[in-house]
């Protein structure tokens, strides 16, 4: 679960640092669940699966309690049994053969917000920022956050704009002075030219 921060860059938290108690925002306040990983395929013939973990420490994915599918209709208890190149090897309760494991390929695994750590001040889960409306100080809508990137110099928000191409905005305190999760929006104070090819 990615985290973003603003000091001088607000930090966008991609993943929680450790299991404790804390999904997919769409401009309606905080998400209730967060995607913590995805099953990339089976491992061996006894039902083990490969999982791409989105947590800061990959093994922490097993520390949040039962995980759920996207619909919230299936729950999985996960036990990490090994590591692969860029993936965890895990056993899911009730999955005992390769065919069953293969059928889970591509399944995204979610955890409830209450299972994740609280963020620090000016630190935000990516899932909380995705979908927020971006507005100027006067309330003019610019677009919505559709992705968050880290190119090495701090977090960058990608804003989808109606009728225009996406724009990248540095997630710094200067450019994004206010984040209002409960209101489902963030406020921009862009320098001249930042939105020039798609001013609202």
Assign domain 32-115 to its CATH superfamily: RimM (2.40.30.60)
- Cα 102 to chain centroid, rounded: 25
Helix (H) or strand (E) holding 100: helix 98-103
pLDDT of 109-125, one tens digit each? 998 877 877 777 778 88
Start and end residues for every CATH 2.30.30.240 domain found in the chain: 1-16+118-200
- Bridge-based pairing of strands 123-125 and 133-136 is unpaired
Cα–Cα distance for residue pair 156/32, rounded to 1 Å: 23
Tell me the CATH number for domain 1-16+118-200: 2.30.30.240
pLDDT of 16-74, one tens digit each? 433 322 233 333 445 578 889 999 999 999 999 999 998 878 998 998 889 999 888 99
Start and end residues for every CATH 2.40.30.60 domain found in the chain: 32-115
pTM of the predicted model as reported, rounded to 2 decimal places = 0.65
């Amino acid at each position: 679960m990615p985290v973003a921060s603003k000091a001088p860059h607000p930090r966008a938290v991609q993943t929680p640092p450790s299991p404790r108690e804390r999904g997919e925002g769409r401009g309606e306040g905080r998400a209730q669940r967060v995607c913590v990983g995805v099953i990339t395929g089976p491992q061996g013939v006894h039902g083990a699966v490969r999982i791409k973990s989105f947590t800061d420490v990959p093994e922490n994915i097993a520390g949040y309690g039962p995980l759920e599918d996207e619909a919230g209709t299936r729950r999985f208890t996960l036990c990490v049994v090994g590591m692969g190149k860029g993936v965890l090897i895990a056993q899911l309760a009730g999955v005992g053969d390769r065919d069953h494991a293969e059928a889970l390929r591509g399944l995204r695994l979610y955890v409830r917000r209450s299972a994740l750590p609280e963020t620090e001040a000016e630190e935000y889960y990516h899932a909380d920022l995705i979908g927020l409306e971006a507005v100027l100080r006067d309330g003019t809508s610019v677009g919505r956050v559709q992705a968050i990137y880290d190119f090495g110099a701090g977090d960058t928000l990608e804003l989808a704009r109606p009728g225009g191409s996406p724009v990248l905005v540095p997630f710094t305190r200067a450019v994004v002075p206010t984040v209002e999760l409960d209101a489902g929006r963030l406020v921009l104070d862009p320098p001249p030219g930042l939105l020039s090819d798609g001013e609202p």
